[in-house]
Amino acid sequence: MKQQFISFANQKGGVGKSSLTALMASYLHYLTKLNVAIIDADYPQYSIYNARKRDMDLLEKDNYFKNLAYNQFKALNKTAYQVIISTPDKAISTAREFIASSSKRVDIILFDLPGTVQSQGVLTTLSCMDHVFVPLVSDRLVLESSLAFAKTLNEMFVAKETIRLKNVFLFWNQVDARENNHLYEVYNKMMHEGKFNLLNSKIADTKRFRKEIVQEKKLIFRSTLFPASRQFTKSTGIENLFLEILKILL
């Protein structure tokens, strides 16, 4: 496949973009033959980079996860993917430098960016993606902001000959099973009329997204060193989303 740059992006915080970035990177890198890297340009919090540091610290303290990492390395014959910090305005040059210095081909680089287009370099970096995936939540103000964000990307960049960005895709995240399905039908109709690209997959709302590794039960939800447990990815709809995205990338 062609080497691709992708990003889960939104101009609103709290919609799950960093969690989804880490989850997808781990899913692809550890469960497929693809080689992945993350450019963490979500300055100044660097949540994914800091998650990697916590994961490495856990390996030092817990023999169960240390052995799990060793067995995974032997089975896959590949090490953990790289998480490289940068800033939004330098994210693309950081990625290109990493690609040039890597001894192995990097198939997909995921970019984690600040949740505001006001940060210097965010829009320019997004224009250099192959695809942008925008998570939506059913809060009216957040949804309106997200649609405005997607519309801006479409109008400024998509289908422009000199711009790399090919598509902007939207999908529902944090879907509460108790919410009225009619509400989503109304929103979906609105997006269809606005000619937005809406993915079929929906991600269920769960507090597990806020967890990383639960040591006492040896369960993995969000990790940069291991894929999330299959039970978690299937029950939340994450696996369906990643498979849908993978079809787009391939």
Give 51-103 pLDDT, tens digit per residue: 999 999 999 999 999 999 999 999 999 999 999 999 999 999 999 999 999 99
Q: Which residues pair with 32 in a beta bridge?
A: none
> Tens of pLDDT along 18-37?
999 999 999 999 999 999 99
Confidence of residue 238 (pLDDT cuts 50, 70, 90): very high
Which residues constitute the domain of residue 92?
Answer: 4-249
Place of tokens 């978690």: 232
Predicted confidence at residue 194, as pLDDT, reads 86
d(CA 219, CA 58): 13
Token pair, residue 224, equals 């940069």
> Tens of pLDDT along 143-185?
899 999 999 999 999 989 899 999 999 999 988 777 667 778 8
Q: In what order do the strands lie in the sheet with 167-175?
A: 82-85, 36-40, 108-112, 4-8, 131-136, 167-175, 197-204
**For position 20, which CATH number holds?**
3.40.50.300
Predicted confidence at residue 213, as pLDDT, reads 64
Return the percentage of the chain with pLDDT > 70, whole number.
94
- What is the number of domains present in the chain? 1
The span from the first CA to the last CA of the chain, in angstroms, equals: 6
Predicted confidence at residue 15, as pLDDT, reads 81
Predicted confidence at residue 240, as pLDDT, reads 96
Do 136 and 145 contact (CB within 8 A), yes or no?
no
Place of tokens 């006001």: 118
